[in-house]
Amino acid sequence: MTITKLRRQLLAGETTPAAILESLAGQIAARDGQTGAYLTHDLESALAEAAQSDLSLPLGGIPIAIKDNINVLGQPCTCGSKFLRNYVSPYDASVIRKLRAAGAIPFGRMNMDEFAMGSATENSALQVTRNPRDLSRIPGGSSGGSAAAVADLTAIAALGSDTGGSIRQPASHCGVVGLKPSYGRVSRYGLVAFASSLDQIGPITQTVEDAALILQAISGSDPLDSTCLDAPVPDFLAGLHDGVKGLKLGIPKEYFGHGIAPGVRKAVESAIESLATQGAEIVEISLPHTEHAVATYYVLAPAEASSNLSRFDGIRYGHRASNPIDILDLYKKSREQGFGPEVKRRIILGTYVLSSGYYDAYYSRAQKVRILVQRDFENAFKQVDAILSPVSPSPARKIGQFSDDPLHEYLSDIFTIAANLAGIPGISVPCGTTDDDGGNNLPVGIQILAPRLGEAKLLQIAKAVESRDVI
């Protein structure tokens, strides 16, 4: 059931928040043993909140699953890492306070790539999550648990985080809706930082309307986050059904070259044709610095990660090594034992590009290229209202297929990371399925990108894609 349908039932007295929670708990018990989307869920605490639900609020009585790098008071926040296996949050993130203010009930901690570093949820140190559309395949990442639960109907909706595609890519792989807001639209306070200039929290839902409802609740200024914008929050539902007639939509030629699986190309092009049939004007555009986006991202994001993760030292919280020789040995052993291979790889890479003699050659140059990527989008949005592209070059791969090839994983984000570099909003909407790579009916998502703070237009176009009877 979607948020919209459940809200109608709640207001009509046909169900209760407690009944919804108990039904979800039954679904989790029956199905999550195969999918592995949930790390923990506390039904007793959620039922206590449900007893106080105000059904007059926009999300009154609706349980929302939470990615395990967003702090919820009294609940674990492991970030999918051994380092924080026993950590319990002493506070609520700002998005959690806003969800509660809108009547929602946080329910369940969702598996993820360790510290959000990965595109498959294979880098979780705690368990494997499988794609409910094909249990032999990855759900995508790093918000793989959130997307898998929504697709498996063990969650009504979920929050994820997106640093380079970590909401949109798993949403595409699992056949659900995933929205990354503009940088600064949603507070990051209480999100465990990976790359602070790139991270954003956003919804993963079954429908575009549900995504709009959650975005409405969590958007807005926050004095606890200096990067959160004090900008008006429009009514994201108001123009949802306005259609695309008269809109000009751009197709970047750099995003439709070699390397896209035939089934992905076919599904995305079919969605584009449908938008044209609905009255949109489709035009080719260029984003000339696209070829440099992956390299730029994998300099900047690890650099910020190496700085942010320096706080995990075994002293204040998290894993602490036993019997160290001295304080330096404690730091070394705690971090060596607590962090997984991908986290270590990115810390090492980030420390290298920030080190003396290499800062100008790598980090400083990457910041300059980031500006060029931002300008590409600024110029494009002078010509078009939004941009359309695939989310991922291929459908969900087999579990373990490229787990020893980090470069292949990094390149799988080629269509998503530029939006994070530019700070613009993006959404993945299901647009069909493919049988590429020997799979059957593997979901495909189309990516829609809009100018900064253009989420209302983004959702309007996404709704037009969703209205097609193809899924």
- Would you call 355 a catalytic residue per the annotation? no
Kind plus residue range of the DSSP H or E element containing 208: helix 208-218
Pairing between β-strand 63-67 and β-strand 105-110 as defined by DSSP bridges: parallel
Distance CA 219, CA 187 (A): 7
Distance CA 127, CA 325 (A): 32
Q: Which residue has the tokens 């949050």?
A: 89
Alpha helices, DSSP H only, in 413-454? 417-422
Out of 89, 142, 334, 394, the active site residue is 142
**What residues have CB less than 8 Å from 30, skipping those under 6 apart?**
none
Kind plus residue range of the DSSP H or E element containing 387: strand 386-390
Q: For residue 20, give the nearest of 56, 57, 60, 58 by alpha carbon.
A: 60
Kind plus residue range of the DSSP H or E element containing 38: strand 38-40
* Helix/strand/coil (H/E/C) assignment for every residue in 86-121: CCECCCCCHHHHHHHHCCCEEEEEECCCHHHCCCCC
Out of 119, 166, 306, 389, the active site residue is 166
**What residues have CB less than 8 Å from 303, skipping those under 6 apart?**
350, 353, 354, 363, 366
Buried b (16+ CB within 10 A) or exposed e, 270-286: ebbebbeebebeeeebe
Q: What is the gyration radius of the CA atoms in the chain, in angstroms?
A: 21
- How many other CB atoms are found less than 10 A from the CB of residue 440? 9
Buried b (16+ CB within 10 A) or exposed e, 15-32: ebbbebbeebbeebeeeb
**Two tokens at 29?**
């018990």
Q: Are 307 and 197 a contacting pair, CB within 8 Å? A: no
The 157-162 sheet, strands edge to edge? 38-40, 105-110, 63-67, 157-162, 200-205, 177-180, 426-434, 442-449, 386-390, 248-252, 281-285
Kind plus residue range of the DSSP H or E element containing 151: helix 144-151
Q: Are 447 and 413 a contacting pair, CB within 8 Å? A: no
- How many other CB atoms are found less than 10 A from the CB of residue 182? 23
**E strands, 143-232, where?**
157-162, 177-180, 200-205
- Would you call 67 a catalytic residue per the annotation? yes
- Catalytically active residues are 67, 142, 166
